[in-house]
A and B are shown apart, each in its own frame.
Chain A
Amino acid sequence: MALPRGLRRALARADAAMNRLYGWRYNPLYHSGALVVALLLVILATGVYLLLFYRIGAPFASVARIADQVWLGRWIRALHRYASDAAVVAAAVHALRILAQGRTWGPRALAWVTGLVLLFVIFLCGWTGYVMVWDVQGQALAQAGARLLDLLPIFSEPISRAFVGERPLPGAFFFLNLFAHIALPVGLGLLLWLHVSRLARPGLLPPRRLVAGVIALLVALAVLWPAALGPPADLFQTPARAPYDAFFAFWLPLVRPLPAGTVWALLAAGVAAAVLAPWWTRPRAGERPAPSWVDERICTGCEQCVQDCPYDAIALVPRTRDVRPGASALVAHVAPTRCVSCGICAGSCAPMGVGPPERTGRDQLVAARRFASARRPGPRDIVVIACDRAVPAAGPHAGAPGALVYPVACAGSLHTSVVEYLLRAGAGGVLLAACPPRDCWNREGSKWLEQRVFHGREAELHERVDRRRVRLVFVASGERDRLRRAVAEFRAALAPLAVAGGETDFAGARECAPSGGGAPR
């Protein structure tokens, strides 16, 4: 799709810039989803304080009193507002990111749709929050909202009549509004649970230093530049020029000249396009990657793929086929409706019995052998095993002397035997270029790869492999220079080592027949 591709390019540039400034660990763009949760907690904490002083009988006066509390109320109110604005920005970045990466369809559709609902509920919370203040902006938001809602045939009386001005607005209106403002966040909790329900280990909060930094900056902003408070609402006065929050009131100038019916039609079209993103962003029928499968003849029931799968798509079930003496009682089973075909299970399985068709460990060894015979890596060559997402960054190295690019679908799906094979085939070193851990499109690929190569996680790189000849670099797709530097540094580190001898006694193709892909046999 053209839209996600354009978004992806823009995102790659932004990611690279942020990585340069803050490093990949604290890149706020990578943590946009988790930042929303952190900001919602800030909003909750500040909201509890504001609630103590809010009066539904005198909404504007009570908010004005809060704003007059120089030492506490003023900046807490400002923090409440700025955190809400930042939450909208973070949620929008998160949604655009997921859209750009094409992670909306298949088993991820539930997370996409619930994410949209979450964003909508955040908007509703903000809308009710601004109406609570009952300044000019609150009045304009309430009246514009009422105009739109009046078109729905579900209210016994037009809501706009409440804002006629004939009588003062009843306290019941502000009570209901306050109730909605408090009740909606409860719904947020439930939606958030649904949103991450298909993840094995959802990362709900960003790193502490990033949270602390963001909160400190927002507090500083709240103290130095307190939130604006417009003139009080007056139903007999047309809303005057006043400060509006563009994050929550951006739609006012858009809908003002349009009839309510047109606004609803446009809204319905926009919502339909967003909700149907899983349908229009998914690859064509023949191009969709198939879910993983298990070769039960090989599976030992060790449970490692169950532990490593980021989507809880694998479970151990009693073995029913291929029951023979010595075979494990349990065997891995992949739930195709939950599997996104990331291939991480292929990297986690030491005996190479699980993975997406044509991407199991055995298939990878066959591909590595083909690569080695075609490119013939020499002792001064570095093979860059690059995650598909990082290939744009690795591209320039394809023609660079001594750096051979070996692309893989996801670095986390790489079986460590491939690394060993390439070194034995004569390469001087293997540089693993993986996406930064919080940017892994398959959530935990980079993390598991690092642990398998350097920390002995099951399906580990064999201990006989000289670790000085293997290096892992986390690189985003827009970071060409960074990858170029990593190659140069690795080359310099390899120089003093004795030339690696190409071993010819390790023939992956002979030792491991290709899986052939497809259904279990």
Chain B
Amino acid sequence: MSPRTRRALGAITAAASLAFLAALSRVPYAAEPGADALLRLAWRARGERVEQCRRLTPAELARVPAHMRQEIQCTGRIVPYRLRVALDGREVINELVQAAGARHDRPLYVFRELRVPPGPHALAVRFARVRTVPATARDDETTTPPELRLDTAVLFLSRRAALVTYDEEQRRLTLIAAPRPPPPAR
């Protein structure tokens, strides 16, 4: 191979490598293929805390350092909720939502995304406490109600997301971003 040919081939290889680099840095891709709309359910709920308390015996108390002695010891957890979602009368989600944390003593977080064919749909969301107990002193107005419901008609637009979330001030589920379907023609 003559030096001139080698130089030319070297230049072509370098140019091809760069073109390859640039092409791979802009590969057309759709992270969400298809024209489906998205139903996003996302909220944070402060559930009812259930505690089991017992009084420590004097012997047990004696084993604890003086500054850590508490006569009553409680272990608690947040009561789970059941999430049910129906679209046009057909149930698409039915699952138990446990409170976060290893001991299930943190708030409940709901985050689900569902692909939905574009168009008008009847949406029904239920978020209800499971195995609830009589209201306690800790079940105040900041606690999420035992049952949340949302029944509405939604017009899902192609590739747009409709968000169902919990409004802590109104204490109810609300729908954001998706416009309501137009009223039926008379």
Closest to A165 in B: B163
Q: How many angstroms between the C-alpha atoms of A218 and B18 in the bound complex?
A: 8
A228 with B161: CB separation less than 8 A: no
Partner of B159, one of A81, A237, A242: A237
Q: Which residues of B contact A247 (CB under 8 A)?
A: 24-25
Q: Which residues of B contact A495 (CB under 8 A)?
A: none
Q: How many angstroms between the C-alpha atoms of A213 and B160 in the bound complex?
A: 47
Q: Which residues of B contact A227 (CB under 8 A)?
A: 25-26
Partner of B30, one of A21, A85, A239: A239
Does chain A have a CB within 8 A of B66?
Answer: no
Does chain B have a CB within 8 A of A370?
Answer: no
How extensive is the interface on chain A, given as a class? 35 or more
Q: How many angstroms between the C-alpha atoms of A243 and B161 in the bound complex?
A: 22
Closest to A241 in B: B30
A243 with B26: CB separation less than 8 A: yes
Does chain B have a CB within 8 A of A82?
Answer: yes
Interface size on B, residues (CB 8 A): 37
Q: Which residues of A contact B184 (CB under 8 A)?
A: none
How far in angstroms is the closest Cβ of chain A from B31? 4
Partner of A242, one of B14, B29, B38, B100: B29
Stretch at the interface among B5-13, B81-89, B126-134: B5-13
Which residues of chain A from 469 to 502 have a CB within 8 Å of any chain B CB? Answer: none
A82 with B31: CB separation less than 8 A: no
B21 with A82: CB separation less than 8 A: yes
Partner of B165, one of A86, A158, A164: A164
Most buried by B among A240, A244, A252: A244
Interface string of B150-166 (1 = CB under 8 A from A): 00000000011101010
Instruction: Give the secondary structure class of B's interface.
Output: mixed
Does chain B have a CB within 8 A of A120?
Answer: no
Closest to B10 in A: A21
B6 with A165: CB separation less than 8 A: no
A240 with B30: CB separation less than 8 A: yes
Q: Which residues of A contact B28 (CB under 8 A)?
A: 241-244
Interface string of A18-32 (1 = CB under 8 A from B): 001110000000000
Closest to A245 in B: B25
Partner of A246, one of B24, B37, B160: B24
A239 with B21: CB separation less than 8 A: no
A140 with B31: CB separation less than 8 A: yes
Does chain A have a CB within 8 A of B1?
Answer: yes
Q: How many angstroms between the C-alpha atoms of A160 and B27 in the bound complex?
A: 26
Q: Which residues of A contact B177 (CB under 8 A)?
A: 165, 236
B160 with A236: CB separation less than 8 A: yes
Q: Which residues of A contact B25 (CB under 8 A)?
A: 81-82, 85, 227-228, 243, 245-247
Which residues of chain B from 63 to 112 have a CB within 8 Å of any chain A CB? Answer: 100, 102, 106-107, 109, 111
A238-B22 in contact given A158-B111, A166-B42 (Cβ < 8 Å): no
Which residues of chain A from 44 to 93 have a CB within 8 Å of any chain B CB? Answer: 81-82, 85-86, 89
Q: List 29 A-B contacts (CB under 8 A).
A: A21-B10, A21-B13, A82-B25, A85-B21, A156-B106, A158-B111, A161-B42, A161-B111, A164-B42, A164-B111, A164-B163, A165-B161, A165-B163, A166-B176, A217-B14, A220-B18, A236-B161, A238-B31, A238-B36, A238-B159, A238-B160, A239-B31, A241-B28, A241-B29, A243-B25, A244-B29, A245-B24, A249-B29, A252-B31
Chain A interface residues (CB < 8 Å from chain B): 20-22, 81-82, 85-86, 89, 136, 140, 144, 150, 153, 156-158, 160-161, 164-166, 213, 217-218, 220-221, 225, 227-228, 235-247, 249, 252-253, 256
Known contacts A21-B9, A238-B32, A241-B30; 10 further A-B pairs (Cβ under 8 A): A157-B109, A158-B109, A164-B40, A217-B18, A238-B36, A239-B32, A242-B28, A243-B25, A243-B28, A244-B28
Q: What 8 pairs across the A-B complex have the smallest Cβ distances?
A: A243-B26, A238-B32, A140-B31, A239-B31, A241-B30, A164-B42, A21-B10, A228-B26
